[in-house]
Copies of this chain bind each other. A is one copy, B any other.
Amino acid sequence: MRRTRFDDAPCPIARTTDLIGDWWTPIVLREAFLGRRRFDDFQRALSLSRGVLAQRLGRLVDEGLLDKRLYEERPPRHEYLLTEKGLAFYPVLAAMWRFGSDWLWPDGQQPPVELFDRESGLPVRPLVVDETTGEAIDVRKLRVGARTPNGG
């Protein structure tokens, strides 16, 4: 049976899930954000099957999150760079980071790593807010509705 696809669903969550709803794609993107560019860099860092890596990188290129660039003619060598769309995905990883840090470590323990601001050196804690009010998102105060003509 073919995996169910959500890429033409009317819901933005479903479409995003179609894009990253497997165990390697978010991790591959994480590595891209950490500055990895070359096939074997990804492969060594993640020790995943080369076949799966090729498929995932290909998908991310097809979807426009990565750009496959020739950085050397002879012999031909490629690198994968984040596009504007790829960079725009970072907030999703940041939200995952926050949830994981807050909820996926045993009692009293915390993850060994943290995010820092390069300039100030201060720790950064991602938080999801409403862009207009600046208030933290509270699901109990939200509803989903049809798009308004002037909205969004």
**For the complex, what is the distance from the CA of A29 to the CA of B90, rounded to whole Å?**
21
Known: A102-B88, A117-B130, A141-B117. A152 touches B13 (CB 8 A): no
Partner of A99, one of B16, B23, B122, B144: B16
The residues of B that contact A146 with a CB separation of less than 8 Å are: 112-114
Sample of 8 A–B contacts (CB below 8 Å): A16-B100, A21-B23, A92-B95, A112-B147, A114-B144, A116-B142, A118-B142, A124-B131
| Interface residues in chain A, defined as those with a beta carbon under 8 Å from any beta carbon in chain B | 3-4, 6-7, 10-27, 30, 33-34, 48, 85, 87-104, 110-119, 122-134, 137, 139, 141-148, 151-152
